[in-house]
Amino acid sequence: EVQLVQSGAEVKKPGESLRISCKGSGYNFTNFWINWVRQMPGKGLEWMGRIDPSDSYTNYSPSSQGHVTISADKSISTAYLHWSSLRTSDTAMYYCGRRQAGGEAFDVWGQGTIVTVSS
């Protein structure tokens, strides 16, 4: 079964660092870009960026650029989203989504990781 499994919920303080993960299974991880999507409480979907796991090439949204880092370790089929200094406004659900084969839509999604940042 093709799936993306994300790491568990996190509670952090402002200024702390954090890395959440997204592990792919059931397919060749290096063949499919992984996207990260943010959903703030009660709000819509916002694309943050993506990574090509084969060579770790990345794209970011303007609002994410410089605030988060997307990386991947293809040896363990895992993509990461990293913050070096969290803000309270980073409180949200974060999803990873796989770019589909032969297309660009996101056909497989992780279950989500909820991140709470509060002093």
- What is the Cβ-side half-sphere exposure of residue 22, based on CA atoms within 13 angstroms? 31
- Which of 41, 104, 115, 116 is the binder for another protein (CB under 8 A)? 104
Nearest 5°: the CA angle 34, 95, 7 is: 95
Site string for another protein, 19-38 (x = CB under 8 A): ----------------x-x-
Candidates 51, 81, 106, 115; binder of another protein (CB under 8 A) is 106
Residue found by looking up tokens 């792919």 in the block: 24
Q: Which of 54, 61, 69, 91 binds another protein (CB under 8 A)?
A: 61
Between 6 and 14, CB nearer to another protein: 6
Query: Is 90 strand, coil or helix?
Result: helix
